[in-house]
Chain A
Amino acid sequence: MIEIQDLIKTFSLNKQQKRKLGTRDGQIKAVDGISLTCKPGRIFSLLGPNGAGKTTTLRLIATILQPTSGIIKVSGHDVSKDGRAVRGKIGFLTGTTGLYDRLTPDELVTYFGKLNGMDGPALERRKQDLFHTLEIFSFSNKRIAELSTGMKQKVSIARTMIHDPEVVVFDEPTAGLDVITAEHIIELIRQCKDDGKTVIFSSHIMSEVDLLCDDLAIIHEGQILYDGTMDSFREQMVNSSLTQEFIRIVNNSKTQAQ
């Protein structure tokens, strides 16, 4: 369960960034008062164009960043007060997540298991299960640098899931991956849902969202433009295509702002 209330995150800008954005303000609101709820056993999708605030929101949930104001609770723990407990409950995966090239998959997954407080036979059993499901055994003792992109992605999944997190956060998980490799991720997201986990993922690809999600939020310039179930979104569509509808909603907000 993820509960977000009136979340605001501002970043201070340096001179270079101000020039780039063409603004004189010393600060920019990356997330501007959003509220959301992601429920267990459902897949929540955060959809928005580049720079909408998706990554910032997900990093706030994962405690990599601290909120400027507002509340985020993950499985009942407040990210500002009890970050350690929150991190113990979540798995975090992005499309550009890297791995330590000089370790083997076996060493890497063991390392992250230990950092999540696991040890001994319990860790070993969990690792064996994951390696079996993901078919990692054949290369589990090779250096990660020698692996293919697909193999690396499987290791990333094992790393994310080693401590059996209640909440899984995916930030553009399929960005930069080929369809075959992306398929591993899609399968993982479905599996998480079946296991009753809370899943939130960000994307700017409408077809991916359509394929997977139960609940949808469209975010633009740090604000929520739509929040509801995927079914109700489909029902109230003006355009026939989901992508067209997404573009229409975003453009609509732009004209309103003007």
Chain B
Amino acid sequence: MKEVLHIARKEFKDTVRDKRTLMAMIVVPLLLFPVIFTVVSGLQSESMEKAMSRELKVAVAGSQVPSGLQAQLESGRNLRLISFGQDTSYRRYVRSDSLDAAITVPPDFQSRVDNMQTGRLQLYYQSTEEGVEQRLTALLDQYKAKLRRERLAMLDISEEAIQPLQVDKMDMATMQEKIGKYVGGFIPYIFIIFCFIGAMYPAIDLFTGEKERGTIETILTTPVKRIHILTGKMSVVVATGIISALLAIVGLFAGLNFAGTLPAQITEVTGDILQPQFILLLLSMLIPLTIFFAGILIPISIYAKSFKEAQSIITPINILVILPGIVGLLPGVELTLQTALIPVVNIALATKDIVAGTIDYGLLAAVYGSLILFAALSVAFSVRYFGRETNILRA
């Protein structure tokens, strides 16, 4: 046991001194989300603001523009109205961006409105130009409301008379459940990937690296048993995988809380999700998952002659890990007895339920059972593989 600790301590020291591993294990998972959130929300709010406040050039076309409509449009902020009369060239100008929009008033508009018919207006715009349609529709809706009030007054009908039904919707799903449904699928996806990547470099470094640097013989000629060498090294691979997965989640929540402008509700709920209980549950699933990953990565790293060879074998496996992780993002796929037994898929679905607070503890037990079984199998395989002299010395 003491020997396992000596090995684990040395390998951990060796690992954190490696800049490449340090980047993959700590820097990338911790900073990725805050950076993405800051950049995306910064860009988004900036462009949104710009779209809402910039001056719009709007053509008003038609031989007779009712004064009420004209006055309503003039009340709009940051609008420059250009009277086109009967000129129909506005379509071309809207297409070529010289105009932001055009409103055309047919000749019979006023008479239809006066005769209790529906008056029609045309709004020409490009949906690719953000905010234009929303701003003008809001303005025209105000005009519509004004016309309706006038009609109702004229007919002596109350507003309530034409609104026989109103439904007040009460969403009983908690904010945690709603967020769980969307973010919940995203969280396991993130930690599964970072768990794998975080474990990948140390696995290659601690096994293939020993061969490449010619140190494998020095460690094999110490009295320490091979299984103890393997255990010590494996524990470091597992630890780095768990650390980077947890850091990715810390980064995700830090990003949600501090970077960018998110609705206050979301930040509140993320605080609710990040309870010690959640972290403990997550950690308890992460440990067997990472051991399973280590059990896959280590035999490959033992077999490979060089860093390059190890990486070229592991890269396609990366995709095999990411694909089941994506299942957590798909709507409609739920944790059942079947899905609870498939490694990676089960942890993705279980986390989603845990975040939403709707986890079935019987199924969670099945998830643990499956994770532990697969972890044990992969470790047993690693042990057998590390014992084979042809693999250790393959050069």
Contacts and interface: CB of A to CB of B under 8 A. Distances in A.
Interface of A: 11-12, 59, 62-66, 84-85, 87-88, 90-92, 94, 96-103, 107, 111-112, 114-117, 143, 159
Most buried by A among B217, B222, B224, B390: B222
Given A63-B221, A64-B221, 5 more contacts: A85-B223, A97-B215, A111-B6, A116-B222, A116-B223
Interface string B193-224: 00000000000000000000111011111111
- Grouping DSSP codes into helix (H, G, I), strand (E, B) and loop, the B interface class, with mixed when no group exceeds half, is helix
A50 to B, nearest CB: 15
B363 to A, nearest CB: 44
Contacts, number: 76
Contact of A92 (B10, B13, B221): B221
A59 B218 CA distance: 11
Contacts of B13: 102-103, 107
B210 to A, nearest CB: 8
Contacts of B14: 100, 102-103
Contacts of A98: 213-215, 218
B218 A112 contact: yes
A169 to B, nearest CB: 8
B221 A87 contact: yes
Given A103-B13, A103-B14, A115-B6, A92 B224 contact: no
Nearest to B389: A65
Contacts of A96: 214
A143 B215 CA distance: 16
B221 A90 contact: yes
Nearest to A112: B222
A62 B221 contact: yes
B360 interface: no
Contact of A64 (B213, B223, B224, B389): B389
Interface string B1-32: 00100110010011001100000000000000
A87 B215 contact: no
B225 interface: yes
Given A96-B214, A115-B7, A84 B220 contact: no
B393 interface: yes
Contacts of B18: 102
B214 A87 contact: no
4 closest Cβ pairs, A-B complex: A98-B214, A98-B213, A102-B17, A115-B222
Contacts of B221: 62-64, 87, 90-92
Interface in B128-147: none
Contacts of A97: 214-215, 217-218
